[in-house]
Structure 1
Amino acid sequence: MLHQVRGVVAREVGAPVEVLDVLVPDPGPGEALVAVQACGVCHTDLHYREGGIGEDFPYLLGHEAAGVVEAVGEGVTEVAPGDFVVLNWRAVCGQCRACRRGKAQYCFDTHNARQPMTLADGTPLSPALGIGAFAEKTLVAAGQCTKVDAGADPAVAGLLGCGVMAGIGAAVNTAPVRRGDTVAVIGCGGVGSAAIVGAELAGARRIIAVDLDTKKLDWAEAFGATHLVNARHADPVEAVRELTGGFGADVVIDAVGRPETFKQAFYARDLAGTVVLVGVPTPEMTLDLPLIDVFARGGAVKSSWYGDCLPGRDFPELVELSQQGRIDLGAFVTERIALDEVEKSFEKMHRGEVLRSVVVL
């Protein structure tokens, strides 16, 4: 059986997205059909539209989603119809060398649903990050579904599917920030603000937010930053050093992902400190660093893939912390919009007006 739903589709590079009829099949073996309740508008969706991730147009956009499982295919035991779930884009295999070593967060053979979703004329769609959740229903691998407390707000819980988890995880899992650490975060959009939340949760004593935009610095302060650096008016490296007794921060998180911000992060850390790259570079970017500086400064330089998260462990825990009021995930939701407002939300994102627009279905 095919389910006809409305979905947001990017037909070609740079063209405005369209709300079109999408055909979603019943789940096959290992798959789950999910009725989407909410999906955040992430910068990654814009990257897809602009051709910055691949060329497999048309794309069914959307991936920061929560909803209810409607049906499951043969052999599925992880979830059942009626479960409230957050979707993730890293369904692990359980068999590769990373999984066998107990490091499933680095799984080298993640997978998605095998059956394609299509346009009404049969044209196969490429779902963003294997999810495609700017749609009333979507088909995913069952392992992409993580059951969480059904009392959670879907618009809030769904954000754990990408940006918020990436930022919190960069601080808590990848670095990891320890109690009493000094932390600097470069770039205070959604991911950077989430890294600030993670640093505070981990017990950092000083959290320095760095950005060019005063509005984003205001967001950072609301999320727990103790010091603010406007990089339009001060050198970020010198400012971080001045705020850390001349030494540099124990952990510096680059949530932008550009060569210049990575260099700032590299030189703003203390000797033997840690740099975490969680902002996603584009393929043409290159980095030029004196190798002697890499050697002489010691410490660690790490990349954070999806906040090095384990969805089955991290999603329920963060939802519970949010419900207890210990972290304010709801503050990431700037506005709630309809499917046909996604293109406008991209424009707001460009202008830095929103942390997250969230499509509510």
Structure 2
Amino acid sequence: MLPYYRRVHRKADGRELILYGLHPLEDPPLPEPALPYSPAPHLRYHPLRREWVVYAAHRQERTFLPPKEHCPLCPSREGGFPTEIPFSRFQVAVFDNRFPSLVPSPTPPPEGLPVPAGEALGRCEVVVYTEAHVGSLATLTEEERLLLAWVWRERYQALYALKGIQFVMPFENRGEAVGVTLHHPHGQIYAYPLVPPILERESQAFRERPVLLELLPHLEPYRVDQEEGFLAFVPPFARYPYEVWVVPWQRHPGLWTFSHEEMAAFARLLGRVVARYDALFGEAFPYVMVFHAAPLGEERTFHFHVEFYPPKRAKDKLKFLAGTELGAGTFVVDALPEETAKRLREVL
């Protein structure tokens, strides 16, 4: 038996909302308006970089840093501001993004383009971590964080089962420094019709040899934290000063092969990594967190891991990508990984 309850609700505009909880979710839904929902994204091929670019012009209209009383990710209240979640309480909520880059029923791309174009098939979901407007992975209770981990696992399995999906990626953008438009604790999940370039390269590396299994025994100077079966470390090849990876010691293609004990250990370690970030400068630390799981067909050799990309290089200094990073793809880092690992290790 799965350690959570699940309830599916169809929103007024047709989008799917799924509520997850540790107890049955029986409250009736509140009234909600049928908001406009007609996205029409498409793909275009970049002939020099040899990769697809998604065009989703409707995303210019997405909600941008609203006041707390108009947060679309909070629970709805009777007679109050109607949010994306028409329930007065919940624990974790997942719903189809109103401003998606990829859609289940895409429209054809424009005709007459000078480059190949394609349909933006896929799915974009929003994952709301908690009904509390303020918080983070670090401030969730252990029980809440474990529930969230099980939700990620369930969404992996559901999205990989969809026709045409090749890769599924949960991620979180935290902080205005990385472009967040809603402060409520949340992440997203993209289900792609293709394997993105970074994952193609990672898959090839894992097919050639067990890269992370070979690296793990040599990472003591770079260790940040650990939990039974998992290691958090600053990569010796980090491209961002406080970059951290979380890796299971045993190879897993994704969360869906973790045992119950591994799910709990993974959730605890993620929370502590974020707590260390927040303690570093005594404030909420911005980052992008990305789950790297096996693309479809790469399950035999791929090694699941989580990568944190934080833009800060000091309390009041951001790491901006400059010409060598953006133009050539060659990063220049002004802090040694073993030194930043030591700071993160000792900060709690």
* TM-score calculated relative to the size of structure 2: 0.30
User: TM-score, normalization: structure 1?
Assistant: 0.29
Q: Which of the pair has the greater relative contact order for Cα pairs under 8 Å at 6+ separation?
A: 1
Greater fraction helix: 1
